[in-house]
Structure 1
Amino acid sequence: MQKILGGSYQIGTNSGVGVPTDLEGPAIQVTINDFLIDSLTVTNQDFLSFVEATGYVTEAERLGWSFVFHYFLDEVTKKQSQTVGGLSWWYGVKKADWRHPEGANSTITGRMDHPVTQVSRNDAVAYCIWAEKRLPTEAEWEIAAKGGNNFDQYPWGKELLINGEHRCNIWQGDFPDNNIHADGFDGTAPAKHYLPNDYGLYQMIGNVWEWCVNPGRISLETFNNMDGKTFWKQHQQVDDQYYAIKGGSFLCHHTYCNRYRIAARNGNTGMSASNNMGFRCVKDI
Structure 2
Amino acid sequence: MPRGDFVMGDSSGDRNHADGEVPLHEVRISRFSIDATPVTNADFERFVADTGYRTEAELFGFSAVFHLAVQADDEDVMGKVPGTPWWLGVRGADWRRPGGPRSDLDELGEHPVVHVSWNDAVAYCAWAGRRLPTEAEWEYASRGGLVRKKYPWGDEEVDEHGWRANIWQGEFPSRNTLEDGWLTTAPVRSFVPNGYGLWQTVGNVWEWCADRFDPNYYRLSPDVDPPGPSRGSGRVLRGGSYLCHSSYCNRYRNSARSSNTPDSSMGNAGFRTVASAI
| Range into which the TM-score falls when normalised by the shorter chain | over 0.9
SS at match of 1:165: coil
Q: Distance in 2 between matches of 1:75 and 1:134?
A: 34
> What is the number of residues matched between the two proteins?
276
Compare 77-86 and 201-210 and name the one that shifted more: 77-86
Q: Find the counterpart in structure 2 of residue 276 from structure 1.
A: 268
Return closer, same or farther for 1:60/1:9 CA change in 2, 3 Å cut-off.
same
Q: TM-score, normalised to structure 2's length?
A: 0.93
Q: Find the counterpart in structure 2 of residue 50 from structure 1.
A: 47
Q: Find the counterpart in structure 1 of residue 149 from structure 2.
A: 152
Q: Distance in 2 between matches of 1:161 and 1:254?
A: 11
Q: Distance in 2 between matches of 1:78 and 1:29?
A: 52
Per-residue CA deviation, residues 150-187 of structure 1 (Å, 9 max, x unaligned), is 14311111112465300100000000000001111111
Match of 1:220 among 215, 218, 226: 218
Matched, 1:96 2:102: no
Deviation of the 1:207 alpha carbon: 0.3
SS at match of 2:6: strand
Preserved contact between residue 151 and residue 158 of structure 1 (Cα < 8 Å):
no
Per-residue CA deviation, residues 186-228 of structure 1 (Å, 9 max, x unaligned), is 1100011111001000001100000000011351255426747
Preserved contact between residue 41 and residue 191 of structure 1 (Cα < 8 Å):
yes
Which blocks of at least 5 consecutive residues in structure 1 are unaligned? none
RMSD: 2.1
Preserved contact between residue 27 and residue 223 of structure 2 (Cα < 8 Å):
no
Which blocks of at least 5 consecutive residues in structure 2 are unaligned? none
Q: Distance in 2 between matches of 1:92 and 1:54?
A: 27
Match of 2:188 among 183, 188, 191: 191
Q: Distance in 2 between matches of 1:78 and 1:131?
A: 38
Q: Find the counterpart in structure 1 of residue 119 from structure 2.
A: 122
Deviation of the 1:241 alpha carbon: 2.6
Matched, 1:63 2:55: no
Q: Find the counterpart in structure 2 of residue 257 from structure 1.
A: 249
Return closer, same or farther for 1:222/1:57 CA change in 2, 3 Å cut-off.
farther
| Identity score, percent | 45
Matched, 1:168 2:165: yes
Per-residue CA deviation, residues 97-154 of structure 1 (Å, 9 max, x unaligned), is 0000010001111100000000000000000011011111111101101111114311
Q: Distance in 2 between matches of 1:43 and 1:100?
A: 14
Q: TM-score, normalised to structure 1's length?
A: 0.91
Preserved contact between residue 139 and residue 223 of structure 1 (Cα < 8 Å):
no
Q: Distance in 2 between matches of 1:74 and 1:108?
A: 12
SS at match of 1:129: helix
Preserved contact between residue 241 and residue 269 of structure 1 (Cα < 8 Å):
yes
